[in-house]
Chains A and B, each alone.
Chain A
Amino acid sequence: GENVEQHPSTLSVQEGDSAVIKCTYSDSASNYFPWYKQELGKGPQLIIDIRSNVGEKKDQRIAVTLNKTAKHFSLHITETQPEDSAVYFCAADSGGYQKVTFGTGTKLQVIP
C-alpha cells in the first residue's frame, strides 16, 4: 500500500521567516496531494492541494510543489505569522477513500 513520510515532525520559525514541510510517497498511482491545517481542538481543514499534472500551485502566502519523478511534494509558507501556528498534514490520494494516506503531521510554531 501507499506510504507517506512527512518531515520535520516539529518546526519553529521566527515570524516573517519561511517554513517548508516535505512529504514523500511511494505509490506512483497517487494523483492528488492535499495539505491540511489543524488548529488546536479543531478538525483538519484543507488549505491547498495539487494534482499530478501540475508542478506548482500558489495561493497567497502558501505554495505547494510536486516532483512526480522523485515522488515528493512540499508545502511552502512565506512571511509566516503567529496564526500559522498549527499542525499540518500532507496526504496522497490515488482515488477513493481507501486509497488516501496521510502523513504523520508537522507541528509548526511561529515565534512572534
Chain B
Amino acid sequence: DSGVTQTPKHLITATGQRVTLRCSPRSGDLSVYWYQQSLDQGLQFLIQYYNGEERAKGNILERFSAQQFPDLHSELNLSSLELGDSALYFCASSPGRLWETQYFGPGTRLLVL
C-alpha cells in the first residue's frame, strides 16, 4: 500500500458525460501527478500540481481539467467523454517537486460506453 488513495475504483459512464476522479496523496506529500494508462497510448503523464498550483502539463486533452485543493487532495475532471477515454487513471504523489520517487495510487478504471 503506497498511501495514495483514489476513488472510485471503477466508473462506468456514457459518451458525452462528465466524471470526477479523486485522489488523496500520502500524508505530507505536496505534489500530485495524474497519469493515464490506455491500451493504445500506454502510460502517459497528464498533469502535475504542487501545493495547489499547476506545475507541469503533459498530453492532457482540453476536455480534461484538474485541481488541487487546500487539503492537498486532487480531482481530475473529464468531460464530453468519448469511447477512447476509457482507461486506467493513476494518481501519484511525492513530498515535493523533482523528488526521486513518485508513489502511485491503485488507479481508477473508467469505462465509457
Real binding pair = no
> Interface on B for A, CB 8 Å cutoff?
none
> Interface on A for B, CB 8 Å cutoff?
none
